[in-house]
Structure 1
């Protein structure tokens, strides 16, 4: 027969001074010291055939109602096969399990040396960590801010979805990368023994049945300006002052990627040979890439060289931001582009513009065009061009490209001479 509960009253607890244990029922007791002044709550139970006692706190600070709630919680743990005293000790013990923020920072630090491009670390920190400037000041929070203070063994599917759902529809590519990075951090935490069980950020067979596929949301390739519009755009660009406009024009002339231009260092430039050699660690494919420089590209380099620090040994950026130690941001180039071209064009899209121009308006072999873009895919002939570099063939092609994009735009019958001059000469 079960023992009756709630035998005691609040008045009894406050006034009783009789030493000993006074049962409230269900294992809960009010224990009074021999002198009658000290009162405490205690919970008795049996575990593996042995009597155990768990303190619930002094009666002076733990009310009868609260003591009953604690005893009830202990009984529920026992019903689930859990020793309440061990559970209490585990809860009071300082946790050695890292938070997601600490685990993310540790994972980034561990993996960064293996990443070919330094921008990968910045991208991981932008999504997982907190971004700080050279003086340690916080400049931005990552997308996973709500996860950072959670112990990694407390992160469940709901917590991951709360982060992803906020950007899944609006920023599908970023969201997909974020999911993969969260999964990687939690996998590393599992390998380190800090969590167990399935990864709540896993896609296949888990989040894939909750969220739409990222590829169905993606906006496709980088929007590219039609190549026929390039002369008019470059003409406008040459009227604009500023490092962003010069870097963007250099990007157009070289058909290089935004990061390759923005992070270029003077040690990579050989003005005498009119050659720019991008080191393997800065290339997407991980192979050194030589870029022939046209006369206008060299002219741009002479302009920006005026800002090169005295005594520079080659470490200085070719296109520095206003903070000379930091490269221009991708958004700087995008802002210049959209201010003077409108639409949703991207700087990366100029590579597509170049490729379309080669195919539509020239007789240059496609293999040479692909080599100019540092693309590794293709058939044996194309790969042979890549191995052989095809530098001189590319030099001829890039000269033709520069001649095209820097030519004054065709004059329509409605333009006045003044308008034509303002547009591009």
Structure 2
């Protein structure tokens, strides 16, 4: 079918829209990018079907593709849907699973892999069955709005993961155009900024109540109770403690070296062990049956992620969380101790300062932190019954 365009015109046309007839158009962008588009009406609504780049698809082929599409329309078929069936455009769910599989080698632990999967399955469920090339800004907003103000941190992670999946789809040729989950210059005009949303805090026990709480823990003959006390005394994260191996312990130097792959900041962290922390390890060493310090029921596996949480529930101290004890430590260090803030932050394995400052800060101040952790352990040591303070719960900040 002869049209209005010529091969020469296709190559030299400046920015604009050019009709070849039969609703086939050459679209030339401001940067000179050229693409073919077929316009048609489907069930009363205007549609556009991309037929490829004019650089790769010559005029004669574009006309043939347009003719094939028009024949499908005449038979009552949507050419866009038919192409998806033949080209194998994946759904968002299929693409998300593929991306997670590709990225999993770089994840720090199994928990991170599980979270990547579960957050998208839970909060982006409305997207999973949609072909990746049909997902729009409205679709993304429909997934994010229900949790954007109530679960701010989770919502922010979900948005980033949706963006990554759609970027991967574009890289594989399944999508064109801008990413509808992009934040800067797009969703930041449609949703409140995350910094202005109330962040979720981990409920924490007031540090004054810790001696009485630890006294209660020591009455419970369970590995989970020892793990929880050790977690409190080292101000470590639960994943760092539960994954701890005997090979990471140096009893002579009283240190525990956590490898980078188990640290949130992705860098090795040395932990000075207080006398009580060492005593806990010596107690477990006598019962050693696994490479893991806090061994679980399954052979050569650690305690489950829920073990310390369940121990907390059994102590009936309200909705206190394991992570919240890090806040208890920080509050004690700031309100009671005289240790410098940077020593406390280093003990919490927080990254301090910008990259330039980090380059100069080569020492991890182990000796100073050892004094800090001994002072913390001494504070947490159970007092006499007469001086014990009833346990109550407060929110961390």
TM over 0.5, shorter chain:
yes
Question: Is residue 2:255 matched to residue 1:275?
Answer: yes
The separation in 2 between residues aligned to 1:195 and 1:78, in whole angstroms, is: 19
The separation in 2 between residues aligned to 1:368 and 1:174, in whole angstroms, is: 30
Question: Is residue 2:113 matched to residue 1:121?
Answer: yes
| Count of residue pairs the alignment pairs up | 330
The separation in 2 between residues aligned to 1:343 and 1:359, in whole angstroms, is: 24
Question: Which residue pairs with 2:5 in the alignment?
Answer: none
Which of 352, 357, 361 aligns to 1:377? It is 352
Structure 1: which 5+ runs fail to align? 1-46, 50-71, 129-140, 416-425
8 Å Cα contact 2:208/2:389 also seen in 1:
no
Q: Once the 2 structures are TM-superposed, how far is the Cα of residue 243 of structure 1 from its aligned partner? A: 3.0
Larger relative contact order (Cα-Cα within 8 Å, sequence gap ≥ 6): 2
The separation in 2 between residues aligned to 1:180 and 1:403, in whole angstroms, is: 43
Higher Cα Rg: structure 1 or 2? 1
The separation in 1 between residues aligned to 2:319 and 2:111, in whole angstroms, is: 24
8 Å Cα contact 2:212/2:388 also seen in 1:
no
Which of 350, 356, 361 aligns to 2:336? It is 361
Question: Which residue pairs with 1:179 in the alignment?
Answer: 159
Quick check: 192-201 or 211-220, which moved more? 211-220
Q: Once the 2 structures are TM-superposed, how far is the Cα of residue 90 of structure 1 from its aligned partner? A: 5.7
Question: Which residue pairs with 2:71 in the alignment?
Answer: 85
Deviations 1:100-152 (A, max 9, x none): 12211221222233344554323212213xxxxxxxxxxxx543333223221
Change in 2 beyond 3 A, CA 1:78/1:257: closer
Deviations 1:236-295 (A, max 9, x none): 122223333221111111111222112222221223432210012222222211112223
Which of 395, 406, 411 aligns to 2:381? It is 406
Alignment TM-score, normalising by the size of structure 2: 0.70
Q: Tell me how large the CA RMSD over aligned residues is.
A: 3.7
TM alignment of 1:211-360, pairs within 5 A: 211-305=191-285, 308-309=288-289, 316-324=291-299, 327-340=302-315, 342-360=317-335
The separation in 1 between residues aligned to 2:249 and 2:91, in whole angstroms, is: 45
Change in 2 beyond 3 A, CA 1:101/1:274: same
Change in 2 beyond 3 A, CA 1:85/1:349: same
Question: Which residue pairs with 1:112 in the alignment?
Answer: 104
Change in 2 beyond 3 A, CA 1:383/1:160: closer
The separation in 1 between residues aligned to 2:224 and 2:288, in whole angstroms, is: 16
8 Å Cα contact 1:224/1:352 also seen in 2:
yes
8 Å Cα contact 2:211/2:388 also seen in 1:
no
The separation in 2 between residues aligned to 1:401 and 1:225, in whole angstroms, is: 15
The separation in 1 between residues aligned to 2:301 and 2:188, in whole angstroms, is: 39
Alignment TM-score, normalising by the size of structure 1: 0.66
SS of residue paired to 2:140 = helix
The separation in 2 between residues aligned to 1:386 and 1:247, in whole angstroms, is: 31
